[in-house]
Amino acid sequence: MRVCVLCRRKTVVMPVGGGIVANTYGLAAGLLFRGIRLVQCPTSFLNAHDAAASSQKQAINHTGYKNIVGLYHVPTMALIDTSFYETLGVTELKAGLGELTKNAALFGGQHYELIKKTTMTKGVALSGDDLVEATYIGLGAKDMLLAIDPKEKHLALLFEYGHTVGHALELTQGVRTSHGEGVTIGMLAASYISNKMGAPRP
């Protein structure tokens, strides 16, 4: 209620934080006055990959369901400062690196070359330049598909790779799994299922 009192039509909502913060305030920005300006400022490597200025989906979990309350609201821009990554622990950094793995599997090319020279060589000990390049290339992949499929109904569903099992793990009682970890495990599960179903190898 306090937010509703303070906000005006010209208010700019700028969430600074990880994915939960970004989604909560993104949803609020889309609802207030039927949509006010939103500037995403991600502080985690994982959220930076989700904070593309063309990414419209804003949603929160409710009553045990993932992303059940949400809407489409386009951010005005995304401000990304990779120095925030220096505050992340190993677990949080690995969660973001799962996005690099996903892009390498989906797109190959420069995404595969990137993961070869970063995580496959250095693990989580990446330099500032490595993280800047990884963020830039990752956002480029997302923006490329969202330009064609802005509401992620068709081609951009590629980004849901690993999410079916990943979301199930996140919501399983007794299992403590972050979103990034869940999606990474989900990609392995999807590959295993695909293999068992006889899908051809690339």
Which residue numbers are catalytic?
57, 160
SS3 assignment for the chain: CHHHHHCCCCCEECCEECHHHHHHHHHHHHHHHHCCEEEEEECCHHHHHHCCCCCCEEEEEECCEEEEEEEECCCCEECCCHHHHHHCCHHHHHHHHHHHHHHHHHHCHHHHHHHHHCHHHHCCCCCHHHHHHHHHHHHHHHHHHHHHCCCCCCHHHHHHCCHHHHHHHHHCCCCCCCHHHHHHHHHHHHHHHHHHCCCCCC
In whole angstroms, give the CA distance from residue 194 to residue 198. Answer: 6
- Which residue matches tokens 């190898």? 201
Taking the C-alpha atoms of residue 100 and residue 112, their distance in angstroms, rounded to an integer, is 8
**Tokens 């599997």 belong to residue:** 105
